[in-house]
Structure 1
Amino acid sequence: MDDAALTRYARHILLDEVGIEGQQRIRQGRVLIVGLGGLGCPAAQYLASAGVGELHLVDHDTVDASNLQRQILYRAADLGQPKARAAAAFLHQLNPDVLIHAYPEKATLDRLHTLCAQVDVVLDCSDNFATRHAINQACVQHRVPLVSGAAVRFSGQLTVFDARQTQAPCYHCLFPGGDEVTEVADMRCATLGVFAPLVAIIGAAQAAEALKLLAPCGAPSLGRLHLFDALRQEWQTIRYAQDPACAVCQPDAARRSSARSAS
């Protein structure tokens, strides 16, 4: 680490839990962010400023005027531009040392498998359950930690999944979902609005969890779902466990259960 880097990241290096070794690991880290909306913008900004080695940014959408209320990487001049490219340009100016890959495309399952195999941590900043479940499947298969965040109206949530640990639950364990549930949830996210500072709080918390995983330091939020109420400025934590019959992280058990039911 040269003198410029030592100066830039001095406040991290001063932390006993991070130090030079932890900051060096952060600088070598590769992070995939799926979704560059309200959550992805602050998450990407903090990860870039912290000196993450590579950021892979996926979003098929373009910048709309309604985004400017909360999506802090964009300016009025970016209207109509692909979010992935506009975000990459902003982040490059913020920290030229970070290698940024912009993918202005949909996060299909096949593409997620390719990208998850190339990174150390994934941040789910998407806004629909179909994408969330696809991200989870790819992370489980490639054994990549997943930091999940969500926000709607004044309510936010945050948790971490780590498929490297055999007893750790995955997203499907917590939210098995279904077509009807998915349709209702997607409609709510699209129509109910969101409090602008809420997405900054959750997105920044996702960045914090990613940095803790990379350094590593502290305890990631495994098996703990943190719920935030912005109206009351209160956090609540709910513990959850692995589903022994989960079709994603425990496929063999799920098949055995299905076979017993059929017989």
Structure 2
Amino acid sequence: MTSPRPIHEAAQRGYTAASDNYQRGRPEYPEALNAWLQDTLGARAPARVVDLGAGTGKFTKLLARTGATVTAVEPVDAMRARLSESLPEVRALAGTAEAIPLPDGDADVLVCAQAFHWFANTQALREMHRVLRPSGRLGLVWNVRDESVDWVAAITEIITPYEGDAPRFYKGTWKQPFEGQVLFAPLQRTVFPHSHVGTFDQVVLDRILSVSFIASLPEAEQQSVADRLRGLKDRFAVLREPTIAFPYATEAWLADRLPAP
């Protein structure tokens, strides 16, 4: 096990401050993903599965339903505490992608949901390779906002100026560690349509205020972002409806572990 890299400040501060918003506002995952997890990734009994960067346990809960033995690894104390509160039966460990607190070959499957872009580096890939058994599998999952929808694109316009150097899925830089490496086979992508249904406060305000670089802003700036989001109701009638379906695409990526070079 190698020494950890520092957690990005936006993740440490934002997710510590916003664990409640994260739990309320982050979407669940589409039902169709269950078959992918079990049949394609191999996350089913009696497999041992690691949920790396588990957050408050939204994805951990889905993994636990497969019947696999699940271990959650999460570096942010506030997030891990929420996970343990909601899923007391799941072992939850403090750790990072570069220093996973598990022995060699301990896992059949390792999954990162909404997380890999935070630690997309060669050191993390080596550590994941170490923890996975021979012929183990790595899964990467993201719920991605559908910005072909006008009001979703308008939300992105509001928040993007605040992102700074925070890693983001849409930038695609998370793929770089897989280029030219000999630890994992080429990534395979599957996409599932998805939507997050709820009130405006749930699916827009809580969701966006849980974004790391928004949650780490001073309170007055967070309030300014919230006010601008509420202002979108004047432009888009759908946002004035009692129930809103926020459109997503759930991207599921698979990479097979290769033998040690």
**TM-score band (shorter)?**
0.3 to 0.5
TM-score normalised per structure 2: 0.38
**Could you say which structure has the greater relative contact order, defined with CA pairs below 8 angstroms and 6 or more residues apart?**
2
TM-score normalised per structure 1: 0.38
